[in-house]
Amino acid sequence: MAIESINPANGRLLRRFEPLTDDVVRQKIALADQAFRAYATVPLGHRALCMRKLAAILEHETEDLATTITQEMGKPLHAARLEVLKCAAACRYYAENAARILASEAIATDSNHSYVRWDPLGVILAVMPWNFPFWQVFRFLAPALMAGNVGLLKHSSNVPQCSLAIESLVRRAGFPRGTFQSLLIEANQVEAVLGDERIAAVTVTGSEAAGRAIAAQAGWLIKKSVLELGGSDPFIVMPSADLDEAVETAVRARCVNSGQSCIAAKRFIIADEIYDAFEAKFVAGMEAVRIGDPMKDSTDIGPLATKRIVQDLEAQVKAAVAAGARLLTGGEPMLGQGFYFEPTVLAGVPRSCPVYREELFGPVAMLFRVHDLNGAIQLANDTPFGLAASAWTRNPSEQQRLVTELQCGGVFLNAMVASDPRLPFGGIKLSGYGRELSAAGMREFLNAKTVVIASPVSTPEHDDRLDLLPFGNPNDSD
């Protein structure tokens, strides 16, 4: 089956690609394996030089690259520009900080010298999604290449032009041939790629189903895996919050990337004392969002990426309403060309409804009323996901409880959830495991190698048998 690039704003075919044959895929894996053996010895300073050049190319060609993103997956052009520039920022962060992150760590022991060094693992397979077709790749690519690993990218099938563009950018920046390659393959070919003994590890950003399948195989193969999966992030607002600022941020947090973001706020949990005012302001804000041509800078929400996403979202909204939820605005696909869906607000989705526990990937928000902070925390944690949370309160004791008790990978107080190259990013529960970005993300695909150099001894009282023990202590068992 051909891999097709379709413009979601009008449904028109942009380009068609034939998937790589299994023989060609094996050749690319062989090239990656060969490249790693040489690239792992390239001085860090030279890698940093290439990474800075990559950042410069991204900055210089932002408009063209952003246009490719918008035409393939539909996000507003101004958001696509910011995505490209964020990729450049990540490249510069790792170029400037890799030496610090990769520095050997001396550890005091009874031996003459002990330390931990960080070695690259080898060829890393990256299975990436369409919603941030550059950023999701670069937050793996930049730390992996700076660390001396090499990458193979299996991108989402609806963004093949983005995938090929990223490979070209890496080569033009001066990275050696084979260091980063795009695999235009179908989903059913991933199993064979991961099963190749030359693949050292895998990172996946995508659906729960994809994560389960790849993680299961990686576990059976005893290969390292990192998963960043779905999210149903809570947005909690307590009475002490600045209500207008919270509402304005809530609308942006739900509509970021046309609602197609793992860390977009999806469940809005509001204290009873301010609920009515929040609901009225929030609904008005969602109705004021500008929907239209993603190539125009005035557009807030563009089309969803595929027709299937629109259909799935419509089914979820109808199921929620049938179960007793109140539809406050929107709720329907938009007529005409393209894959558009109305900004939608649901209130009081019952806990018994499957939608209560599902991820809504589009501009659909769920509002919930709670009596107090205890109810807010309980409802926020009542989800199989655990990616991140945004909480709004100026009460210090409430802030501390939220930071301590929310079950997720990140808590943002009086701020919208966002990824940052300087901070670890990832979740718990069904949102996955492992971390991306920061030092933590770089070290996910490094071998923490322990090195122990024994103490030189020459005294007659020395018992030679102690040299056979790792730390010279006969009571140590591990």
User: Which of 336, 357, 359 is closest to 129 using CA atoms?
Assistant: 359
Q: Which residue among the candidates 228, 358, 359, 436 is catalytic per the annotation?
A: 228
In the numeric block, the tokens 């890393």 are attached to 124
Whether residue 247 contacts residue 278, with contact meaning beta carbons closer than 8 Å, is answered with yes
Whether residue 446 contacts residue 226, with contact meaning beta carbons closer than 8 Å, is answered with no
- Catalytic residue check, 228: yes
CA distance 71 to 82: 15
Whether residue 422 contacts residue 269, with contact meaning beta carbons closer than 8 Å, is answered with no
In sequence order, which residues have a C-beta less than 8 Å from that of residue 204 and are 6 or more positions away? 126, 127, 210, 211, 214, 215, 225, 226, 227, 228, 229, 432
In the numeric block, the tokens 């410069």 are attached to 56
Q: Which residue among the candidates 262, 342, 398, 408 is catalytic per the annotation?
A: 262
Q: Which residues pair with 75 in a beta bridge?
A: none
Provide the CA 32 distance to its chain's centre, in angstroms. Answer: 24
In sequence order, which residues have a C-beta less than 8 Å from that of residue 31 and are 6 or more positions away? 177, 178, 181
Provide the CA 445 distance to its chain's centre, in angstroms. Answer: 16
- Catalytic residue check, 408: no
Catalytic residues: 228, 262
